[in-house]
């Protein structure tokens, strides 16, 4: 069986394989890899039915753009008729009555949804350990975390339980697990993909993103799910991307990449640092130009992110009150249903975020924290815009550390937050970014590197990513589609 949708499609068009057979095989693999805890819900019956329809479309010679593409969807993205839990007790039995726009567009293009994947509760975390359904495990070593919060989607692609997967990225939750699992993870420009039906965590940072084995597959999915959506006032008023075409075009000029000054990289884990320099050297040898860019506010990335993200989360999560939908805890005389439901329904990390967010928004501290964070955010975005005046994209690590052991960072939330050092700034600036598999630690754990591009340059970023991957693959003598 092939790992990528593009290769499957070629085989299906030649009549060498059938969609039904592929879906059955994926379902079988999902069962045999249950230990990874990648899925919260598997929608086997609906997937088998959709596969039959896809086969009929191929047989009739009228396949749609993603016909037969098997997709796993993070369980904070709304799926009509299939429960959407956000890995929280508070939504444990919640079944949406509508599809997220991204899901609706996938289905309309012939994609097959195979199930809903595990995550940190409400996408808050960097390891998929904060899930009410238990942690997901790294397929390259199950004693290690797969990253998070979209850990289940990264595992599903890495362990070949689907062709591609959707995740959400508020501060790195697509890119960081992609790096930890050795797959590609793409976060588009803010507004490129509709957020309608993505359960809100921090609305000004949230974006749906894509996991795949190849840039080509990422592009195929992006071209289907991007584009203006009347249901999301923050979606870009532009037609869907044509990135499949753009990634095939030759680069008109030599690629110019920006690198961060050594002092910003110095705190990285040794093996991440070594991998970064190895990849940089290979690109330089292949003719890529490098310029050191100074991003003067990098020390503010993490604190700014955690103020804005928690502030927005505390507001967004106010809707879970035990009254309108989701969990409702039975109470005794004189008890308060809202408090009882939220106390029982939310996990510790979500409660921590709600409390931090409420604090930074409170009348006494708003000016000291929230207002300052908004100013810092503007400076961070402007610094990016300035650096892109001289380079096409920036190359930086995805995570300062390789995958860590399950449990290792659970007792220390600050250590967990620092794992997001290189990812949160792209969300603060709204720019597109992609994590690419770049190497392995001596223990056989994956390391990813990240490219970040100017706002709106999503298709071009995919083009650059493909060039870099080509060089790295030539260097490691590995072959395979990119
Ligand atoms: N790890 C970050 C956090 O915990 C990012 C989460 C995300 O991107 N959803 O907030």
Residue 72 placed within a domain:
yes
Who contacts 477 (Cβ-Cβ below 8 Å, separation ≥6)?
Answer: none
Residue 288 placed within a domain:
no
What spacing in Å lies between the alpha carbon of 75 and ligand 1's midpoint?
A: 15
Residue 422 placed within a domain:
no
Residue 366 placed within a domain:
no
Residue 325 placed within a domain:
no
What spacing in Å lies between the alpha carbon of 301 and ligand 1's midpoint?
A: 13
Angle at 117 between CA 112 and CA 120, to 5 degrees: 155
What spacing in Å lies between the alpha carbon of 481 and ligand 1's midpoint?
A: 30
* Marked catalytic residue, from 149, 220, 243, 399: 149
* Marked catalytic residue, from 78, 88, 150, 173: 173
Pocket lining: 125 vs ligand 1, CB cutoff 6 Å: yes
Residue whose CB lies within 8 A of the most ligand 1 atoms, among 74, 118, 126, for a mutation test: 126
Number of domains making up the chain: 1
What spacing in Å lies between the alpha carbon of 377 and ligand 1's midpoint?
A: 17
Domain CATH code at residue 60: 3.90.1300.10
Domain that holds residue 120: 5-248
Residue 123 placed within a domain:
yes
**Interhelix angle 5-13/215-225, nearest 10 degrees:** 80
Which position has the token pair 């030539």? 474
Per-residue pLDDT of the chain (482 residues; tens, 9 = 90+): 679 999 999 999 999 999 999 999 999 999 999 999 999 999 999 999 999 999 999 999 999 999 999 999 999 999 999 999 999 999 999 999 999 999 999 999 999 999 999 999 999 999 999 999 999 999 999 999 999 999 999 999 999 999 999 999 999 999 999 999 999 999 999 999 999 999 999 999 999 999 999 999 999 999 999 999 999 999 999 999 999 999 998 877 789 999 999 888 888 999 999 999 999 999 999 999 999 998 889 999 999 999 999 999 999 999 999 998 899 998 888 789 999 999 999 999 999 999 999 999 999 999 999 999 999 999 999 999 999 999 999 999 999 999 999 999 888 888 888 889 999 999 999 999 999 999 999 999 999 999 999 999 999 999 999 999 999 988 775 656 66
Residue 239, CA distances (Å) to 121, 191, 222, 228, 481 in order: 33, 12, 12, 6, 28
Residue 10 placed within a domain:
yes
Residue 149 is among the residues annotated as catalytic for this protein = yes
Give the integer Cα–Cα distance in Å for 36 and 135.
Answer: 8
Residue 222, CA distances (Å) to 102, 109, 136, 165, 226 in order: 9, 12, 26, 11, 6
Residue 446 placed within a domain:
no
Residue whose CB lies within 8 A of the most ligand 1 atoms, among 88, 120, 211, 401, for a mutation test: 120
């Amino acid at each position: 069986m092939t790992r990528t949708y593009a290769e499957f499609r070629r085989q299906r068009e030649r009549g060498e394989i059938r969609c039904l057979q592929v879906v059955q095989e994926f379902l079988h693999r999902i069962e045999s890899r249950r230990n990874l805890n990648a899925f919260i819900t598997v929608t086997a019956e609906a997937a088998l039915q959709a596969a039959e329809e896809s086969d009929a479309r191929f047989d009739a010679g009228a396949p749609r753009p993603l016909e037969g593409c098997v997709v796993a969807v993070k369980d904070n993205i709304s799926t009509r008729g299939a429960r959407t839990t956000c890995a929280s007790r508070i939504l444990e039995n919640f079944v949406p009555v509508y599809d997220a726009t991204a899901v609706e567009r996938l289905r309309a293009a012939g994609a097959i949804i195979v199930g809903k994947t595990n995550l940190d509760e409400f996408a808050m975390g960097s390891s998929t350990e904060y899930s009410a359904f238990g942690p997901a495990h790294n397929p390259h070593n199950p004693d290690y975390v797969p990253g998070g919060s979209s850990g289940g989607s990264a595992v599903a692609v890495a362990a070949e339980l689907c062709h591609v997967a959707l995740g959400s990225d508020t501060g790195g939750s697509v890119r960081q697990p992609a790096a930890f699992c050795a797959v590609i993870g793409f976060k588009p420009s803010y507004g490129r993909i509709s957020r309608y039906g993505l359960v809100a965590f921090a609305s000004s940072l949230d974006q749906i993103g894509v996991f795949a084995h190849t840039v080509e597959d990422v592009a195929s999915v992006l071209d289907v799910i991007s584009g203006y959506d009347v249901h999301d006032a923050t979606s870009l008023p532009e037609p869907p991307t044509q990135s499949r075409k753009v990634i095939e075009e030759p680069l008109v000029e030599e690629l110019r990449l920006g690198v961060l000054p050594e002092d910003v990289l110095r705190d990285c884990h040794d093996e991440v640092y070594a991998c970064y320099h190895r990849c940089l050297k290979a690109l330089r040898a292949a003719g890529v130009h490098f310029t050191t860019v100074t991003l003067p506010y990098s020390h503010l990335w993490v604190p700014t992110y955690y103020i804005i993200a928690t502030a927005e989360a505390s507001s967004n999560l106010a809707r879970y009150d035990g009254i309108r939908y989701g969990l409702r805890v039975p109470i005794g005389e004189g008890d308060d249903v809202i408090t009882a439901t939220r106390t029982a329904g939310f996990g510790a990390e979500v409660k921590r975020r709600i409390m931090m967010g409420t604090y930074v928004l409170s009348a006494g501290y708003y000016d000291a924290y929230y207002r300052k964070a908004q100013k810092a955010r503007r400076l961070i975005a402007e610094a990016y815009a300035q650096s892109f005046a001289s380079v096409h994209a920036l190359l930086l690590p995805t995570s300062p550390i390789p995958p860590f052991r399950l449990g290792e960072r659970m007792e220390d939330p600050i250590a967990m937050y620092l794992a997001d050092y290189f990812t949160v700034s792209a969300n603060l600036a709204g720019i597109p970014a992609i994590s690419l598999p770049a190497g392995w630690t001596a223990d056989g754990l994956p390391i990813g590197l990240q490219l970040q591009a100017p706002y709106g340059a999503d298709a071009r970023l995919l083009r650059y990513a493909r060039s870099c991957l080509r060089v790295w693959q030539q260097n490691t003598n590995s072959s395979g589609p990119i």
